Amino acid sequence: MKLVYFIDHLRPDGAQKFLHQLVEGMASRGHQQIIICLNDSWDTGLVEQIRRAGVRVHIVGKIPLASGIGWLMTLRLLRRDQYDVAITCLFAADVIGRLLARAANIPRIITAVQTRNANYPWWKFWLVRLTAPLADLVVSCSATIRTFVAQHEGVPLSRIEVIPNSVSVGESRGSYSSEQVREELGLGPNDVLIGSVGRLTEQKGFDVLLHALPMVHGSRLRVVIAGVGELDAMLRRLAAELGIADRVYFAGYRRDVSSLLSALDLYVHPSRFEGMPFAVLEAMAAGCPIVASAVDGTRELIDDGVHGWLVPPDDPVALAYAIDAALGDIAEARRRGELARQRVAAQFNVDAMVDAWEQILIDITREAPTGVIRSERT
């Protein structure tokens, strides 16, 4: 099967992690693939990993797209190579990729939705709804996102499948020991370390975590936040204003997140909205005790009181209370962390995700070209 993927950029975020897992899995099964990256923004390490798997990567770029040349060159590539299915991921790819795939007469178009796009302005929703009929199927990463797509993007539920995100539990073993990581962060033997991973954006709620910290008991508490984004300077100012700058370490982008997770006493994920967050999946795979906001796909990963602690989003008081509860009962925290590790190993593994995608691709290519695949799965 010949597959073409459209994505906005190839920076190392959650949607790109999903795409990397999928194309590697499909490449191992003999499928021919190419990724068309619309923006000239990519992570060199990620692109090299994808290419080593035998997957082509074609970078279009903003200026060629804006001039129209990028559209024409991409259309020519699509018509020349004659792909069986086009898969789009993220806003620009959903709109532009659907149009280009249809113009190139690619028989089937699938859109992969990786988050509840609650921050979209009206015009983005309008463009997504306008081009949605061009897609034969939408694949969401959680049941919550499936409902959101139906309500806000105008896609009938019969055309939306759910395939959860996944993680390899083996990847939870980092290349550095927890002692090395803690030494790097300048921690003493009695320091308690909590951490969080994600883009420094409003969605991820790191400001909520910072507001919660002064209410958490324990003078030896330290926090590491790993990620980059537009709110970096604002979050640093907020930490200083709250008088906790000396307790918060902004680690920037880290390739070896698994090593960082191994050093944590507690993982905290304070997002305002999500898809099915890879950061939480990775923390579960590492066996970390977890406190998270009860949003979207996170609620499908963690049962409150079983695999971790869930709190309402945007509630620093509730977040502080849950952090205190987790740090105050080490045995219970470890028990929940182990149950989370077992759950992700059993239910959210990469092979199962690739199996589900491959079956959908087989099913959809067997449909008549003018038909719309009808899902019976819920």
Confidence (pLDDT) at 348:
94
Nearest to 38 by CA among 13, 81, 77, 5: 5
274-296: average pLDDT: 94
Nearby residues of 358 by Cβ (< 8 Å), 6 or more positions away = 25, 26, 29
pLDDT tens-digit series, residues 290-301: 999 999 999 999
Read off the DSSP letter of residue 8.
S
Q: Which residue has the higher pLDDT, 119 or 243?
A: 243
What share of the chain in percent tops pLDDT 70?
Answer: 95
Residue 4 CA to residue 354 CA, distance in Å, equals 16
pLDDT tens-digit series, residues 185-234: 888 878 899 999 999 999 999 999 999 999 998 878 999 999 999 999 99
The bridge status of strand 108-113 relative to strand 137-140 is parallel
The two tokens of residue 298 are: 């996170």
Instruction: Write down the pTM of the prediction.
Output: 0.89
Q: Secondary structure of 210-271 in the HEC alphabet?
A: HHHHHHCCCCCEEEEEECCCCCHHHHHHHHHHCCCHHHEEEEECCCCHHHHHHCCCEEEECC
Residue type, position 283, single letter: A
pLDDT tens-digit series, residues 59-104: 999 999 999 999 999 999 999 999 999 999 999 999 999 999 999 9
The CA-atom distances, in angstroms, between 184 and each of 244, 256, 320 are 19, 13, 26
Whether 109 has a pLDDT exceeding 50, the answer reads: yes
pLDDT tens-digit series, residues 6-25: 999 999 899 999 999 999 99
Strand order through the sheet with 290-293: 248-252, 221-226, 192-197, 266-269, 290-293, 309-311
Nearest to 84 by CA among 369, 371, 376: 369
Residue 206 CA to residue 185 CA, distance in Å, equals 19
